[in-house]
C-alpha cells in the first residue's frame, strides 16, 4: 500500500462539530465576545471600548491566516467572518446615531449600504460556486479586484474604515486640543477619512456588481426554461 493511500485511509472523518472547533472559527468566536463586551462599555468607558473593540477588529487579520496555515477553510468560517464584520460595524454606527442624532439619515444610509452590498456580494459569490466572498473573478471591477485581491490593501482599508468610526465615537468625549484646536480623535478622523470614503465607494461598486451577476444568472436560467 502506498504512503498516500495509507494516509488517506488513516485520516479522520470530519464532522460538522469539528468545523465549529476549527482554529479560525474559534478566533471568530473571540471576535464576537470582545465586540459584545465593547458594546456594554460603549456608553461610559471610551478608552476601554476602543481597546476591546480594536482587539475584535485586529483578530480579523488572524482568522484567515489560521485557516490557510492549518488548512481549515470553511463556508461557515467565511460567513462567520463576514457577519461579524457587519454586526460590529453596524452596532458602532447605531451608537453614533445616539451620540449624533442630527445625522440619523446618514447613519441609516451607511448601515443599509454596508449590509446590502455585502449580503448581495456574498450571495452572488456563493451562487456562482465560490467558496469565499473574497474571491473575485477576472471580469470584475478593477477596484474590487484591488480591494479583495491584495490582502494588505483589504486589511488597511478595513482598518481605516473602523478607525474613522471609532474616531467619531471618541470625538464625542472630552479630549484636550492638540493642533489647531483639534483633539486627537478629530485629527484621527481627518486622517482616516479618505480610506473610509474609498470603502463606502467600494461598497456601492460591490452592490452594483453583485446585482449584475445575479440578474445575469436569472436571465440564463429563464432562457434555459424557455429553451432559448
Q: Average pLDDT, stretch 27-46?
A: 95
Nearest Cα to 141, choosing from 72, 211, 194, 79?
Answer: 211
The pTM of this model reads 0.86
Counting every residue, how long is the chain? 228
Instruction: Please tell me the predicted confidence (pLDDT) of residue 195.
Output: 95
127-163 per-position pLDDT tens digit:
877 766 666 666 677 777 777 777 888 889 999 999 9
Which residue is catalytic, options 81, 85, 174, 221? 85
- How much of the chain exceeds pLDDT 90, in percent? 57
- Active-site residue, 18 included: no
Ranges of each domain in the chain? 15-225
Question: Would you say residue 178 has pLDDT above 60?
Answer: yes
Q: What angle do CA 78, 53, 124 make, to 5 degrees?
A: 25
Instruction: Please tell me the predicted confidence (pLDDT) of residue 7.
Output: 46
Q: Tell me the backbone φ, ψ of residue 182, rounded to 5 degrees.
A: -95, 140
197-227 per-position pLDDT tens digit:
999 999 999 999 899 989 999 998 899 888 8
Question: Would you say residue 6 has pLDDT above 50?
Answer: no
Task: Please name the CATH architecture into which domain 15-225 falls.
Answer: Up-down Bundle (1.20)
Amino acid at each position: 500500500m502506498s504512503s498516500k493511500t495509507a494516509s488517506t485511509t488513516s485520516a479522520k472523518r470530519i464532522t460538522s462539530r469539528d468545523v465549529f472547533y476549527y482554529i479560525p472559527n474559534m478566533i471568530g468566536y473571540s471576535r464576537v465576545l470582545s465586540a459584545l463586551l465593547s458594546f456594554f462599555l460603549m456608553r461610559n468607558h471610551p478608552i476601554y471600548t476602543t481597546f476591546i473593540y480594536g482587539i475584535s477588529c485586529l483578530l480579523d487579520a488572524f482568522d484567515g491566516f489560521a485557516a490557510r496555515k492549518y488548512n481549515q477553510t470553511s463556508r461557515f468560517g467565511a460567513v462567520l467572518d463576514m457577519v461579524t464584520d457587519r454586526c460590529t460595524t453596524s452596532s458602532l454606527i447605531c451608537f453614533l446615531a445616539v451620540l449624533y442624532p442630527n445625522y440619523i439619515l446618514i447613519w441609516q444610509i451607511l448601515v443599509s449600504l454596508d449590509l446590502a452590498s455585502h449580503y448581495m456580494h456574498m450571495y452572488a459569490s456563493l451562487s456562482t460556486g465560490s467558496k469565499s466572498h473574497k474571491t473575485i473573478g477576472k471580469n470584475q471591477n478593477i477596484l474590487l479586484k484591488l480591494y479583495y485581491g491584495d490582502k494588505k490593501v483589504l486589511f488597511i482599508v478595513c482598518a481605516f474604515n473602523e478607525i474613522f468610526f471609532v474616531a467619531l465615537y471618541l470625538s464625542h468625549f472630552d479630549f484636550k486640543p492638540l493642533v489647531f484646536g483639534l483633539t486627537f480623535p478629530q485629527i484621527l478622523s481627518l486622517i482616516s477619512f479618505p480610506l473610509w470614503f474609498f470603502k463606502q465607494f467600494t461598497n456601492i461598486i460591490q452592490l452594483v456588481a453583485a446585482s449584475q451577476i445575479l440578474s445575469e444568472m436569472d436571465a440564463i436560467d429563464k432562457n434555459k426554461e424557455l429553451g432559448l
